[in-house]
Amino acid sequence: MALEHIRQLTCVACGRHYGTDTLYTCPACGLEGILDIEYDLERAARTLTPQALAGRPWSQWRYQELLPVDFSKPLPHLQVGMTPVYPTPRLADAVGVKSLWVKDDGRNPTGSFKDRASSVGVVKARELGKDVIACASTGNAASSLAGFAAAVGMKSFIFVPERAPEPKIAQLLIFGATVLRVHGAYDQVWSFCQEACSKYGWYNRNCAVNPYLVEGKKTVGLELGELLGDQVPDWVSLSVGDGCTIAGAWKGLKQMHQLGFLKRLPRMLGVQASGSAPITEAWANKVDQIKPMEAQTLADSIAVGHPKNWRKALRAIRESNGAMVNAEDAEILEAMRRTARQAAVFAEPAGATSVAGVMAAVRQGIVGKEESVLCVVTGNGLKDTKSAIQATTPPIDLPPEMDALEAELKERRLL
């Protein structure tokens, strides 16, 4: 078991403490009372050592002392985490920094970072004896949950907005999820899912209200802490939607620093799409509140106009002495091209937003040209082929004749 390492759950709004029997948000604060799981790191340090990790499975479950899971029970068979980190010197040159690494989380089982959270979600649901799990999603959390529910034989109900990309819908359907495509924006879909979970008693996988899911997202920071050691970059860049991902990554990095795996901590760069940027606005205005907005961006995975986990996101940025920046849709498409052509990593729009944010931060003087950056690509480009095609030039149509080929190549200055 690893649950004994949990000290308490603390509300980020009012500071009240709770035990592990509190299932979702703070009873006193309601949906505003997001909970944070606190661990006994002194106890964890006794067994979470480099020597111990050397003999553990190559997956996120290797960090069992820092995960809120009963390890005496079976885990999903799919391998989650330990995704590759690549040095990408040509991309660094194009972006304008000294060095740049890409962590490709599109290599997870269903093609996105969200597998880290969904794997924990289905495990917690089974611990509670639940046989149905549900979530609202713009796409990646949905396909991830559908896949992990299938892995453990659990029924899943997935609420998605009409704009969810077709490849992500295809994943949901092939995994056997019940897909509920709702007429409305993501925030309406999310509220609708909340009502359904409450009425029918389904386990709620939504990260914004379920503190256990962020612990799965935290594993990206734990991995970076173990793998980078004293090679810590100056910045870690992530796209931001609801705020859970950057909050989780920062928490994992902090814990590995406290445990002695990291010599120092990086600064966090949070990147929102310009058409969906309430957290950036709150950070820029130095306020502890957000102003909801109608999300308008092609990066569907971060199209969240009313983020629920904004407090944790802002805390990560402020504690790390980091920054928030925005990227226009055109800049995100450019980052998709650059990441693919100069790092050979095919990123969906939200995944490439981390790279677009570095480009913006360099232009604004936030990230220095002599600094190092690690970008987390949170989703595979095959999840949104429409945007990928939009980011490129169309193929050349021609008859099977050499004269026609030569004429086209010369006209396009390819010869």
Residue 273 is assigned to a structural domain of this protein = yes
Q: Check: CB of residue 232 under 8 Å from CB of residue 264.
A: yes
The residues, any chain, with a CB within 8 Å of residue 154's CB and separated by 6 or more, are 122, 125, 126, 130, 131, 132, 133
317 in a structural domain = yes
- Which pLDDT score, from 0 to 100, does residue 166 have? 85
Could you please report the per-residue DSSP string of 327-368? Answer: E-HHHHHHHHHHHHHHH---B-HHHHHHHHHHHHHHHTTSS-
**Edge to edge, what strands does the sheet with 17-18 contain?**
17-18, 6-11, 35-39
Find the CATH number of the domain harbouring 267.
Answer: 3.40.50.1100
Tokens (6 digits) for 129: 């004896």
Q: Which residue has the tokens 């205005």?
A: 285
Sheet holding 372-377, edge to edge: 85-87, 99-104, 372-377, 235-239, 267-273, 323-327
At 79, the amino acid letter reads: Q
CA dihedral 358, 316, 39, 65 (to 10 degrees): -10
Could you count the other beta carbons within 10 Å of the beta carbon of residue 369? 10
The answer for residues whose C-beta is within 8 angstroms of residue 120's C-beta and 6 or more apart is 67, 68, 69, 212, 213, 215, 216
pLDDT of residue 2: 66
Domain count, the chain: 1
pLDDT in tens, 162-186: 888 888 888 999 999 999 999 988 8
CB atoms closer than 10 angstroms to residue 364: 10
pLDDT of amino acid 229: 85
Q: Is residue 147 assigned to a domain?
A: no
Low-confidence ranges of the chain (pLDDT < 50): none
Distance from C-alpha of 111 to C-alpha of 130, rounded to nearest angstrom: 26
> Quick check: is 26 in a domain?
no
Measured distance CA(389)–CA(412) in Å, rounded: 19
Residue 286 resides in a domain: yes
pTM of the model: 0.95
Range of the domain at 99: 85-111+213-390
15 occurs within a structural domain = no
95, part of any domain: yes
Model pLDDT, residue 138 = 74
- Is residue 383, in this structure, part of any structural domain at all? yes
What is the C-alpha to C-alpha distance for residues 183 and 137, in angstroms, rounded to an integer? 13
Q: In the Cβ-directed half-sphere of 267, how many Cα atoms lie within 13 Å? A: 16
What is the pLDDT, as a whole number, of residue 208? 80
Q: Which two tokens stand for residue 17?
A: 């403490």
Altogether, the residues listed in the chain come to a count of: 415
Buried b (16+ CB within 10 A) or exposed e, 237-271: bbbbbbbbbbbbbbbbbbbbbbbebbeebbbbbbb
| CB of 311 closer than 8 Å to CB of 13 | yes
